[in-house]
Amino acid sequence: MSIDNRFTEDEQFLLANAPYLVGTVMVFSEGSGLGTIKEMYSNSKSFISGAKEFPNNEIISGILPNMTDFSDVREKSAALKEKSIEAFKARGVKSKEEMKAYALEELGKVEKLLKEKATPEEISEYNQWVLSIAENVAKAAKEGGFLGFGGELVSEGEKEFYAEVASTLGSDKKLG
């Protein structure tokens, strides 16, 4: 059964937007100056890599653009960006704390939806994908320090947010 037959358009948006939101919150969980650019790139790269990492997962491959079709990439990316901006505006997100709460709330909705409509294997792979996005972003750049010297690879704020994401997904996995 195709993803279009299993999930409504709004549900597909939720499934696509929640992982990207998690990565975005991780980017802004700690100020990392120039490292923020690395983290933003890592978020996009990790998000798109879900199709490669889980090629048989109908949900992940269904919500991501077909990377061999540039027009599909452009169309799906633009649509996701537009709906994401609308959702932020509708929600009234104005701070890092509000963005974090919003991301966790959306992730909770995803978990409920997946339990209703997905197989255990699809849920496990989706959750692995979300956690890999969060981890890759957290480890993309050092926090603190000066001009790349000193600092720590993963900040306490990133560890805390990762733990909240993992808990929302029913995992006790820690970010080290």
The model's pLDDT over 3-28, given as tens digits with 9 standing for 90+, comes to 889 999 999 999 999 999 999 898 88
Name residue 102's amino acid: Y
H or E, element range at 80: helix 70-91
| Residue 31 · residue 155 · CB < 8 Å | no
Report how far residue 58's alpha carbon sits from residue 5's, in angstroms, rounded to the nearest whole number. Answer: 12
- 3-state secondary structure (DSSP) of residue 172: coil
For 116-138, the DSSP string reads HHS-HHHHHHHHHHHHHHHHHHH
What are the residue ranges spanned by the domains of the chain? 3-168
Under 8 Å CB-to-CB from 58, ≥6 apart: which residues? 2, 3, 6, 122
Place of tokens 């798109």: 48
Report how far residue 27's alpha carbon sits from residue 85's, in angstroms, rounded to the nearest whole number. Answer: 17
- pLDDT of 168 strictly over 80: yes
Tell me the mean pLDDT in the region 70-83. Answer: 78
- Looking at per-residue confidence, does 46 or 123 come out higher? 123
pLDDT tens digits, residue range 24-52? Answer: 898 887 765 656 777 877 878 888 888 88
Q: Model confidence at 116, in pLDDT bands (50, 70, 90)?
A: very high
- Nearest-CA neighbor of 43 among 134, 176, 155, 106? 134
Report how far residue 99's alpha carbon sits from residue 105's, in angstroms, rounded to the nearest whole number. Answer: 10
- Looking at per-residue confidence, does 22 or 1 come out higher? 22
The fraction of the chain above a pLDDT of 90, given in percent, is 44
